[in-house]
A and B are shown apart, each in its own frame.
Chain A
Amino acid sequence: MKKNALIAMVVSAALLLLVPQFLKNYGIYLLTYWLVFVIATMGLNLTVGYAGQKSLGQAAFFGIGAYTVAIMLKAGISWWLGLPAAALLCFVVGLGLGFPALRVQTIYLAFATLGFNTAAWLIMRNEEWLTGGTFGINNIVRPGLFGFSLEGNLAYYYLVLAFAVVLGVLLLGLLRSPWGKAFTALRDNPIRAESLGVDIRNYTLLSFAIGAAYAGVAGGLFASLVQFIEPAPFAVGASIMMYLMVVVGGPGYFLGPVLGAAVGVVVPEWLRDVPGVADWYLPLFGAAVVLLMIWLPEGLLSLPDRIKAKKQAKEASAARMASAQAASKSGTSS
């Protein structure tokens, strides 16, 4: 198993590094777009999948990150300062959004976060002096690094890839520390967790804050990727889409967002280019999600676990059958 994991890692690293070399601009753009959403949904997976807090506000943080970087760039501040600022601001606002979660849960929390997303979106749209309103902010530049320009699509792809890998490793480290168990305990049974000394208040707030910070970084990367932002991509619909990506990939599975974001970003684009399907790609995509939720309600990555469980059940029943037969045989012979 260890060996397989290593091989899978080497192969995916090679693919991620080499494939863009053979792609045209649009392909590279699409891959970068996917990675941006991998980062944002990785954060949401922590909030929703591991800590069990139903948040429908991730797009607001994504937007706050994007606007922070864009506005700071316009003010002449370096991108490399803007991005950490975006993460920090989202962390703080995320901490604030965690407070309703201390009082309400499940669908009620989803509504509360949805309200937050709407409010954030209204600020982006209405406060023209800050955000440019519906005209948005254009000519957002991409950063340079050590004198190298990352303006080109390929160079920028590698930058986003580097961020995705580093943030992924950090999250994995966090989830493998005692924090990972505390988050899971909070999700599975908060009352029991509290009775075991788990500070459910702090873990709830931090699951929001860290998840939001990831969306903030993703938003900053997004702003420089598309180079023009306006409020639309940060509306409630985008939050629902991100939630969907987590659910489709498999909430609580570390690689769930990688798959979920691929389904949410790449598949619709791909379907759009398939001849004959172009007019139908949205209904097709929707139908595919509905079917997936019926057959694999715990997401695509729950499939191996399912197969394993089925196999075990089969083996167990075969063993029972064998022992029953053996018992009846010994009964007749004696």
Chain B
Amino acid sequence: MSALLKVTDLKKSYGAIQAVGGVSFEVQPGEIFGVIGPNGSGKTTLFNSMLGQITPDSGQIELKGENVTQCGPMELNRKGVGRTFQTLQVFGKMTVRDNLIVAAQEHQGTMFSRMFAPGDSGLGAKADALIDRFRIRHVADKKAGELSYGQQKLVDIAMAFMSEPDLVLLDEPCAGVNPSLVGGISTLLKDLNRQPAGAKKSSFVVIEHNMDFVMDLCHRIMVMVEGKVMAIGTPEEIRGNKQVLDAYLGA
């Protein structure tokens, strides 16, 4: 099976500081891949490169065999990369339902044809299905900005799945979320991975500080330290890796 995402020898420096110094890994179709590492280990820079927010100095990112190293965020999204944000990023003045619809409408037709498309772009049923899955039916017609933090977090994650992406990058999905909802998000993500919202199966890449969450959710985990890969393996392998324990988990 060919890899869905293939990152080869990625490097990015800011002045004299090398944030990411030659990182390589692959993500298989349907896989949940975790990225962990202490603060300043280059996780965010790696993520931003994969999302087209920044252009790496060297190295290559391939999505489904296509070189996407130079692509911007919009292009990447249209090629099948969805994402969630570490901080809340919903459209506050739109209803939850409209937030979900706008998350997929630009994947249909052309700009010109969308001018004459129905207001919900025919995505109403799909949005409703995700609303039910995320159990946010009771707030579906409320403005997203009026919801609680946890509810907005759920909307944010649901938005990433509206366009049936091949790959979803989750940037600290548990940041600021209360412990009871952490479990809920974990269950949701596992469920979405097993039983996708659309026809396609999505792979996930997750950055998260909550160890229990990562160990429980991910199929494989990559540990980054000082811009380099220290280890890649299953949660059991990572737990048993002495080097990792010393550098990170032992702390």
Question: Which A positions have Cβ atoms within 8 angstroms of B?
Answer: 174, 176-182, 184-185, 187-189, 191-200, 202, 252
Kindly state the separation between the CA atoms of A181 and B117 in the bound complex, as whole angstroms: 12
A195: contacting residue among B83, B104, B115, B119, CB under 8 A = B83
A179: contacting residue among B74, B94, B114, CB under 8 A = B114
- Chain B neighbourhood of A178, CB < 8 A: 102, 105-106, 114-115, 117, 119, 121
If A174-B115, A194-B72 are given as contacts, then 7 extra A-B residue pairs at C-beta distance below 8 Å, sorted by A number, are: A178-B121, A179-B115, A180-B119, A192-B90, A195-B77, A195-B85, A199-B74
Which residues from 80 to 114 on chain B have a C-beta closer than 8 Å to any C-beta of chain A? Answer: 82-83, 85, 89-94, 98, 101-107, 111, 114
Question: Which B positions have Cβ atoms within 8 angstroms of A?
Answer: 51, 72-74, 77-78, 82-83, 85, 89-94, 98, 101-107, 111, 114-119, 121, 159, 163
- Chain B neighbourhood of A195, CB < 8 A: 51, 73-74, 77, 82-83, 85
Chain A residue at minimal CB-CB distance from B169? A195
- Chain A neighbourhood of B74, CB < 8 A: 194-195, 197-200
**Are the C-beta atoms of A184 and B93 separated by less than 8 Å?**
yes
Chain B residue at minimal CB-CB distance from A176? B119
**Are the C-beta atoms of B159 and A196 separated by less than 8 Å?**
yes
Taking the closest CB of chain A, its distance from the CB of B115, in whole angstroms, is 5
B91: contacting residue among A179, A185, A197, CB under 8 A = A185
**Are the C-beta atoms of A182 and B89 separated by less than 8 Å?**
no
Kindly state the separation between the CA atoms of A191 and B115 in the bound complex, as whole angstroms: 22
Q: Which of A189, A200, A202 has the most CB of B within 10 A?
A: A189
Q: Which of A178, A181, A192, A202 has the most CB of B within 10 A?
A: A178
A184: contacting residue among B51, B83, B91, B111, CB under 8 A = B91
**Are the C-beta atoms of B114 and A197 separated by less than 8 Å?**
no
B89: contacting residue among A177, A180, A191, A202, CB under 8 A = A191
**Are the C-beta atoms of B106 and A192 separated by less than 8 Å?**
no
Kindly state the separation between the CA atoms of A187 and B121 in the bound complex, as whole angstroms: 20
**Are the C-beta atoms of B102 and A182 separated by less than 8 Å?**
yes
